[in-house]
Amino acid sequence: MNRRLTAQPCGTSILAAIGRRPLLQFALLAAALLVIAVLPHLGLMRFSTMSIYAYTAIYTVVALGMNILLGFSGLISLGTAGFIGAGALGMGVFLRMGLPFEAAALVVLAISGSVGALIGLFSLKVESIYLAIATLFVGEILRQVYTSVPIFGGEFIRIGAVRLFGVFELNQILQVERSILYAVIVGILFISMVLMHHLVKSRTGRALMAMSRSEHAAQAMGVSLLKYRLIAFVTATLYATAGGILYALYFQSAPTRAWTLNVSLLVIAMVVVGGFKSIVGTFLGAIIIYGLPNLLLKDLLGDISYVFSGALIILVILFYPRGFVYVGHDLRRVVSTLRARARRAP
């Protein structure tokens, strides 16, 4: 059985064909999400529901970065929320200074990325649990900064309408423009997925995996641990910050108190539940951990719905340590074994 486990899905069904084409998967996913932009205008969905999908997409971008760390590089960070906050609040600060949206985004990414690089350097010195604790403090320090430094405006920074490329002014209070903002976010989610796919299916991705799974061989083959830890942390930080920037873009206001350890843990849970190393799985994880409780269960169960995520994480770790996205894969294997058996039966 094990020898049959190929890296590529095989078979001729439509599903298998889609399984072989990751870019097509991302495109289908983005197309499905884009449909949601239209539904509220047809009276088929509340606008607040669209916002939950927007937030899920934002969380997915952040969790993709976490998957680079956790899934591919065997590293961890508990400071993710701090960098989402850096994206959202940083945009608030620089937009109020009068920077164009795109310039502000680049500045925020550059600053955040540099801090990420520092953590990468630091990660060479400390391993596993100590790295977790160290990054936890980075996150906490950032949170303290956001809530106590006056430049971040106390409770939250109001951003208001943003102007993209200097022409398209979009205000999230207006229903049509909110749908456009949502579409922009889905577009960037799609791009994030494609870029990550490119990265992990390259020399860089292989080096990240070799670094975490066969450290000595990686070194013997010329993989510099320093360089690739830096790459892992900078990429993860940039994805988290990009998530924050998208938050600022969509909600057009950035709270200072929201970036707690809880958020960082949710992001980790998305990777664990959705699927290590799986890009589509990361989206699944975001839907399961953030989307479902807010879309369905909150109406039924109220705040207890979050217990659901907790229970789910424990279940997945116990029974699906590789993540939810592999359920389909395993089901397919079970089905084909059963079929084979049925054929063999007299």
Partner 1 sequence: MSEVRPMTEVRPILELENVTMTFGGLRAVDGLSLTVFEGEIVGLIGPNGAGKTTVFNCVTQFYKQYEGLIRLTKDDGAVDLRDVPVTQVVRHGITRTFQNLDLVPDLSIEDNVLVGAHTRFQTGVLSHLLRTPRARSEEKEMRDRAGEVLDFLGIAHLKDLYVAGQPYGILKKVEIARSLMAEPRLIILDEPAAGLNDQETKALDALIYQIRERYRTTVLLIEHNMALVMNVCDRVCAINFGRFLAMGAPVTIQRNPQVQEAYLGKDEHL
CA distance 116 to 306: 30
Report whether 103 contacts 111 (CB < 8 A).
Answer: no
* Residue 68 near partner 1 by CB under 8 A: no
Q: What tokens appear for 317 in the block?
A: 């770790």
Interface positions, 256-285, toward partner 1 (CB under 8 A): 277
* Residue 7 near partner 1 by CB under 8 A: yes
Shortest reach from residue 200's CB to partner 1, in Å? 9
Shortest reach from residue 281's CB to partner 1, in Å? 14
- At residue 162, φ and ψ (nearest 5 deg) are -115, 155
* Residue 214 near partner 1 by CB under 8 A: yes
Return the range that interacts with partner 1 (CB under 8 A); candidates 137-145, 211-219, 287-295, 305-313: 211-219
* Residue 109 near partner 1 by CB under 8 A: no
Among 36, 54, 231, 316, binds partner 1 (CB under 8 A): 231
Among 43, 150, 166, 222, binds partner 1 (CB under 8 A): 222
Q: What tokens appear for 272 in the block?
A: 């664990």
Among 144, 171, 219, 337, binds partner 1 (CB under 8 A): 219
Residue number with CB closer to partner 1 (216 or 344)? 216
Q: What sign has the CA pseudo-torsion 235, 240, 244, 250? A: positive
Among 125, 216, 343, 344, binds partner 1 (CB under 8 A): 216
* Residue 343 near partner 1 by CB under 8 A: no
C-alpha torsion 172→173→175→180, nearest 10:
-10
CA distance 181 to 99: 19
Phi-psi category of 271—alpha, beta or left, where left has phi over 0 and alpha has psi -120 to 50? alpha
* Residue 336 near partner 1 by CB under 8 A: no
Among 29, 89, 138, 210, binds partner 1 (CB under 8 A): 210
Compute the C-alpha angle 267/261/314, nearest 5°: 55
* Residue 13 near partner 1 by CB under 8 A: no
* Residue 12 near partner 1 by CB under 8 A: no
Among 118, 225, 258, 295, binds partner 1 (CB under 8 A): 225
* Residue 121 near partner 1 by CB under 8 A: no
265: nearest Cα among 119, 109, 66, 120: 66
Report whether 96 contacts 87 (CB < 8 A).
Answer: no
* Residue 224 near partner 1 by CB under 8 A: yes
* Residue 105 near partner 1 by CB under 8 A: no
CA distance 191 to 57: 12
Site string for partner 1, 125-144 (x = CB under 8 A): --------------------
Give the DSSP letter string of 276-306: TT-HHHHHHHHIIIIIHIIIIIHHHHGGGHH
* Residue 69 near partner 1 by CB under 8 A: no
Packing angle of the helix pair 203-213, 225-251 (nearest 10 deg): 110
* Residue 5 near partner 1 by CB under 8 A: yes
If you search the block for the tokens 């400071």, which residue do you land on?
79
Size of the site for partner 1 (CB under 8 A): 32
Residues interacting with partner 1, by CB under 8 A? 2-3, 5-8, 195, 198-199, 202-207, 209-210, 213-225, 231, 277
